[in-house]
Amino acid sequence: MKSLYGVIGSPIAHSMSPLIHNNAFLQNGMDAHYHAFHVEPDQLETAVAGMRALGVTGFNVTIPHKEAIIPLLDSVEDAALQIGAVNTVVNKDGKLIGYNTDGRGYVEALKEVVGLKDKHVLIIGAGGAARAIFYTLALEEGIQLDICNRTVSKSEDLIKEFSLERIARSITVDQAAKEIKNYDVVVQTTSVGMFPQINDTPLPLVSVKNHAVFSDIIYNPIETKLLREAKALGAITQNGVHMFAYQAALAFEIWTGKFPDTDRMKKLVEEHLGGKTC
């Protein structure tokens, strides 16, 4: 019998998860199908009960359900509890278990282009994506983290919540712009620059550190204005396709025990978007 997988969210029609997961099932010779399910917030509990009743093998969780789904699950891994969000659920003998692959997926993708030991990293934003990335980056040896956010209290609260005052500090966006040349890695986690606001940037760039890496979690457009400007100043750049592929691959591995071809996943996404990854 064909195994059923999926993703729940609202909106969800734009999701490229079915594209990459169904292709991964095909490549691995698995009799399985992945479907996108539109679920409004007031229907989340009913939808989760439906997933359980139908025996869905596993599913992803996206906006706006990553936090709200936690109490509806039978158990949740420690990392996901710390982050406060679940993006992957597996059905093990009728028990729904939650995981978060966003942070790990992002860091694995970032390590494709830069080693993180003893690096000075700036995180732009303090929202849900930033939480997962901040938590996971903090595990890297010798790392120093700065977080800038329009609402400074949010980044301050994030640092205090994880008790990471020793290695992290909260700064203003203006301060980050002035100190931008000090950073080895700049991580952009906000929606600034996402389609259709493609001419916006979270902060101005005048110069960057030699061999600095600028990483943006946005993948539509393929290359944000921030990445274009950073590249013009000599930085190495990486867009959100990489994180998207790795978090998906980690979810696939949780469900199936097999780690899929992330290069193929990235290629499928960039072909769908009509561009090339950077």
Where in the sequence numbering do the catalytic residues fall? 66
Q: From CA 11, how far away is CA 218, in angstroms rounded? A: 17
CB of 98 within 8 A of CB of 75?
yes
Residue type, 229: E
The closest of 275, 257, 256 to 266, measured between CA atoms, is 275
Q: From CA 231, how far away is CA 163, in angstroms rounded? A: 34
Residue type, 244: F
* Lookup: tokens for 11: 């909106």
What is the DSSP secondary structure assignment for residue 239, as one 8-state letter? -
Beta bridge partners of 213: 185, 236
The residues, ordered by sequence, that sit 6+ positions from 194 with a Cβ below 8 Å of its Cβ are 218, 220, 221, 224
| Angle subtended at Cα 5 by Cα 195 and Cα 47, rounded to the nearest 5 degrees | 80
Q: From CA 169, how far away is CA 260, in angstroms rounded? A: 37
| Angle subtended at Cα 54 by Cα 52 and Cα 60, rounded to the nearest 5 degrees | 60
Residue type, 242: H
* Lookup: tokens for 50: 């439906």
Look at the chain and count its residues. 278
